[in-house]
Amino acid sequence: MTSKSSQTALPRFDKTVLPNGVRVLTEHIPSVRSIAVGLWVYSGSRDESNEEAGISHLIEHMVFKGTEKRRTHHIAQRMEAVGGYLNAFTAKEYTCYYARALDEHLERSIDIVTDLILHPNFPAKELEKEKEVVLEEMKMYEDTPEDLVFEQFEAVIFKDHDLGRPILGFPDTVRAFSRDQLVSYIDSHYTPERTVLAVAGNAKHDEVVRIARRIFGSTDRRPTNRSRVPVNGYVPREFVQIRPIQQAHLVVGTRGLDVHDPRRTTLSVLNTLLGGGMSSRLNQNIREKYGFCYNIYSFANMHSDTGDFGVYMGTDASKIERAKKLIFREFDKLAQKPVSPRVLNQAKNQVKGSILLGLEGMSNRMMRMGRQELFLERFISLDETVQEVEAVTAEDILEVARELLNPERFSSVVLVPGV
């Protein structure tokens, strides 16, 4: 067992590693009356083979269909009966099961989220029904062009790689899954050393560790049989698809930075300058000045060993090419001339405000803590985060812009109206 804590008295971060490898994290905030509990597994859609596409997401659904101790309705009632809630989500590189409740229900909250992954029974009848639910979820995304264009964008940016597959998988793979496959997958991927229990709120670390020891005490350390496929080479591509929609949806993007890149904070500030709000350059110059769109923004997604960066907008099909030129013009401005001290300071304040305001909620604190542990294996305090933002210079932004914002490196994905 190892343990460490921050030097800050309030709030306080602590970490303990159980003998089997499960990591227990807490951020104790005694000024609130609630807790957020998250059980993180460092396994997501990227860790599937082509034949397993969608199995992580299906497992996330199926654990709610019954455990050795509880039937489906008992799982939902367990948290709702005390005014809390329970949910989960699957990402490219991890899966998270989480609960929110009053602090007096700490043990109940940890017990229910851990029960989901330690004792699921995957009833065969429920499996067949849940496959249909997932197929309907796929149709829902197909009918939501802003979601669909990003799915197509990832397929283009990470062509022929696991990161390019949709998290939900494909209809054929989902239909083919058996109960034995789900059991085998969770046994090989949901290993203790890839599991993190994170709790934020009015919960003392020793109490959380005590509960975790009781629950995970009989879980043996076992090897993780998985090696992620390194990202492949990137070649810019053009993709156009006709859809029965009223508005064209455009994403121009490229490969970006990973979470370990020391320039990640610089990229966050650059992203804010470019398309991070109503005062951003994209919004002011493409929406406000030209009236080309209602919605436009830039984005930066960072994974463990790669990332993607780009711009989304919805516009009339006749304006697509002009919109691209305007977007690339903004790229050129950022890559050619340093931003002024006033503009830089404003962007930094916006980034800091977004972070600090988001952490008013315990769920966001828990999410931040869990992701940091999975990717960085350490806790980054708010003071350190603010210092990183303050340290970004105009020259830093110029350097990243010159490397990243080259239009020749950008792919283009467009959904256009048609029948």
Q: Which of 60, 126, 151, 373 is catalytic?
A: 60
Q: How far apart are CA 333 and CA 284, in angstroms?
A: 14
Burial of 2 (0-12, 13-18, 19+ CB in 10 A): exposed
Quote the strand ranges of 60-211, DSSP E.
85-90, 95-102, 195-201
* CA distances to 150, 153, 198, 211, 312 from 147, in Å: 5, 10, 29, 39, 11
Calculate Rg over the CA atoms of the chain. 23
Degrees, nearest 5: CA angle 44-267-316: 80
**Structural contact between residues 311 and 273, judged by C-beta atoms closer than 8 angstroms:** no
Would the CA dihedral through 346, 352, 353, 354 be positive or negative?
A: positive
Sort residue 201 into left (φ over 0), alpha (ψ -120 to 50) or beta.
left
* CA distances to 147, 172, 285 from 293, in Å: 17, 37, 11
Strand partners, 248: 315
Concatenated DSSP letters for 268-320? Answer: HHHHHHHHSSTTSHHIIIIIITT--EEEEEEEEEE-SS-EEEEEEEEE-GGGH
- End-to-end CA, the chain: 61
Q: How far apart are CA 295 and CA 362, in angstroms?
A: 30
Phi, psi of 359 (to 5 degrees): -85, 10
Residue 60 is a catalytic residue: yes
- Residues marked active site are found at 60
